[in-house]
Structure formats: structure tokens, C-alpha cells
Amino acid sequence: MRIERDSLGTLRLPEDVYYGIQTERARQNFPVSGLRLPRRFIRAQGIVKLASARANRSLGMLDGRLFRAIERACREVIEGRHDEEFVVDVYQAGAGTSQNMNANEVIANRAIEILGGRKGDYSIVHPNDHVNMAQSTNDTIPTSLYISATEAVREELIPALRGLLKAVEDKSREFREIVKSGRTHLQDAVPITLGQEFSGYAASLRNDITRIENALRSLIYLPIGGNATGTGINAHPRFRQMVIREIREITGIGFKGSKNLFEGIQNVYPALEMSASLRAVAITLTKIANDLRLMSSGPRTGLAEITLPAVQPGSSIMPGKVNPVMAEMLNMVCYQVIGNDTTISCAMQASQLELNVMMPVIAYNLLMSIQILTNGVNTFTKRCIEGIKANVRRCREFADATIAIATALNPIIGYGAAAEVAKEAMRSGRDVRDVVVEKGILSRKEADRLLDPKRLTGSKNPR
């Protein structure tokens, strides 16, 4: 064991841990959930600390020997070599002070070790004076959030959504000649093609990707350099400019400084904007998943217009049953994302005066949404969308049977007369075409041409 001291007194810590006394106090104070901020956030904290150390070194504020040790320790954090040392619960001290100190202490103690000292000897490298130089929890935590969310969205979520979009577009082309009955209010409507239906899904996904890309533009503005309240107290006048430049160099992403540091620390609106775009994706995906569950219902007593890949048995008691489990999984992911967005929205309302103190739970929920959407979409694409098969015969039966085909008679005999034809077809159980021929409204040849379901779809597969 080793003994460390802070402004509240002393504590004993295991000799082998890199975190220090303030982290240990938080570990003891917040045994709430066992949840931790994820790897991407820890990596981003390492990036912020490395960029800050480089900026302070360039500005002559940090000794070269200390800098080299801190730089090495930061790189190890970025690489994930000390993830187990980040032990603070998500539900912790407001703003993420404990999370920030967790990073400061891990980096400081590792740097001390690199310099040949013993962990806890902060006369060599100090967590606050050296690792946290020119920084505050209030600017480093939102900066770490924006960096981690930006990297996750760019590197994982957008590629996953583009993969799903391509798979849906492929199915739209594959199904372009397959005519079926449209449905509105879950009732028969005029014919469409299965390909047209899928083209609607594709367009929705394309719009969602655009919304996410727009939200990414707000995440590039980092409040680092604002320090505690936005004034930049205790930072070199050029620190803000230098640290942003170093973050760009490390990440390869064009980050910029917040346009107004006071606003950048008072609020974390870029996180709210990104969460809202993820909620929109979740709503789109819920619609698609629900439609696929409906269209694949059966196989004998439902719509059965499509068949989803069979990936596992569907019942513990009914032999041979296969369920739309991938669509069900995606629904659950989407509901969680919508719930996360609600949490983020509520936490955003907790901004008071110069600071939003709910940043840890905002960060956790936003990064969780990105991760589960990425994984859920990738799985759904590979194990569901790519393997969908159309039941051509069933689709055609519904296209021929829909009473709404009488809509095509409106320009010829008017809405009222067309409605009478539709009701007669319903009463007699006959095809609309047979009714109009029997009533002498159209010849058989005219009826077959004018009421052909394929013709009524327009035979177009828009993007």
C-alpha cells in the first residue's frame, strides 16, 4: 500500500495502481452502477492531455524532461494500455471532475514511474500542476466528448449506415419488377412495387446520414482553452490556439476552437444535436424493422410477401417456428437510443450559470447510442437485409386482389361511381376488373390495360 495526501487528508491506496487519491475518493463515493465511460472517451482524454502537454512545452511552460515522460504516459493512455485504471462510475461528481482527475493521476503516476520515481510522489510530476496545466474539468470533459463522438461517428457509425444503405438499394433494384398491394392505415391501397417500397427506405437512410453529417459540423468546435468558466485563466494567451493545433495533428480531424468559450462551457449543445440526429436514425430504423416484420409475417397466416433469413429457432415450445429476430433486435436498439436521447435532453436542461454539470451522463449515453447503433446496424445488414427473399407469387396475388385498384377509374367514371364498383367487388368477392367489364364500363381489353397493377405503379424505382 501507499499513502497519498490531498486537501481533505490522506488515504491508503494499493501500491500497484496508477490512479491516485482523488480517484480513490470518487471510487468510494460513487459505487452506483459499475458502468464506466468507454474506451473511446478514455482515448480522447489521452489526446487532450497529450495536446495540452505539447502546447505547454512549446510555450515554455513545461520542462522538457517532464514533458517527455508525460507525453509517453499520454500515448499509453491513447493506446488503451491503462484502461483498467479508469475506475470512476458514470454517475459521479458533476461535470466530470473525478473523471478528469482520474486521467490526470494515471498519467502523472505513470510519468513518475518513467522518470524512476515511486507512484504517489507528486513532487516529481503533479496531476494538477503539470498534467492538468492550463486546463479545467469544465473544458477538457466536453472536449473529450466531442473528440470521441466525432471519431466514433466518422469511423464506425457512418460506414455502418452506408453499408445498410447500399444493401437496401441493392434490394430495391432486385425487387423493382415485383408488384404488390400498397397499404395505408394497414388497409389495401393502390399497387406499388416492392422495389419502390425499398427505395423509400433507402431515401430515408440517405437523409439520416446527411443529418448526422450536419451534426458532426457542430462537434468540431472545442471549448478547450476556456478553462474553468471561459476566461482561460492560468493559461498562456496562446495556449488555446496551440492546443487546438495539436489536437488536429493527433487526430487528423479539422477541429476548431469554440466561437464563444463562455457558451462552449455553459452548454454542450453539439452533443444534443448529435443525439437528436441519432434519434432520427432510430425512428427510421424502427419503421424499417417494423415493416419487415409485417411483410414477413406468416409463413401461412400472415402477409408472407418476403422471407427473412432464418438465423435461429424461434420458439422453445413450437417446433419449426422462425422469428424475425434481427428486426426485433434492431427495434430494441432503437428504443434504447431514443431513451438515451431523452436522458441527454434532460441533462442538457441542467445547465446553470457558467456550466453544465451533467456531462458524464451525457457522454455515456451519446457514446452508447453511437456504439449500439453501429453494432446493431452492421448485424442487421449482414444477417437480415442482405438475405431477404421476395415471395413473387404472394405479392402478385395481393396486387391483383386490392380493391383500391378502383382508384384508376376516377378519371373515367368519377369518384362516386368508382366507389360503387369497389363496394360491389367487396360484396361479391370478385376482381374489380371483372366488375367493370360486367357493368359495361370497360371492355375486357380496356380493363386489363387500364387496371393492370404493374401499369399503376408507374414502373419507376426512384433513388
- 58 is a catalytic site residue: no
Choice among 33, 315, 443, 459 that is catalytic: 315
Cis omega (within 30 of 0) for bond into 299:
yes
Q: How far apart are CA 197 and CA 461, in angstroms?
A: 9
In the numeric block, which cell numbers belong to residue 441? 364500363
HSE toward the beta carbon, residue 281, CA cutoff 13 A: 34
To which H or E segment does residue 340 belong?
A: helix 325-348
Q: How far apart are CA 243 and CA 439, in angstroms?
A: 82
Residue at 104: amino acid letter: N
**Distance set, CA 365 to CA 49, 224, 279, 338, 416 (Å):** 23, 22, 12, 10, 55
Question: 329 in the Ramachandran plot: left (φ > 0), alpha (ψ -120 to 50) or beta?
Answer: alpha
User: In 131-263, where do the E strands start and end?
Assistant: 179-184, 187-193, 221-222, 256-257
Nearest to 266 by CA among 57, 395, 95, 99: 95
- Those residues with Cβ within 8 angstroms of residue 125's Cβ, 6 or more apart along the chain or in another chain: 66, 69, 70, 108, 109, 111, 112, 115, 117, 131
Q: How far apart are CA 211 and CA 180, in angstroms?
A: 31
Nearest to 205 by CA among 330, 303, 345, 391: 330
To which H or E segment does residue 307 belong?
A: strand 306-307
Residue at 10: amino acid letter: T
Q: How far apart are CA 394 and CA 396, in angstroms?
A: 5
| Catalytic (active-site) positions | 315
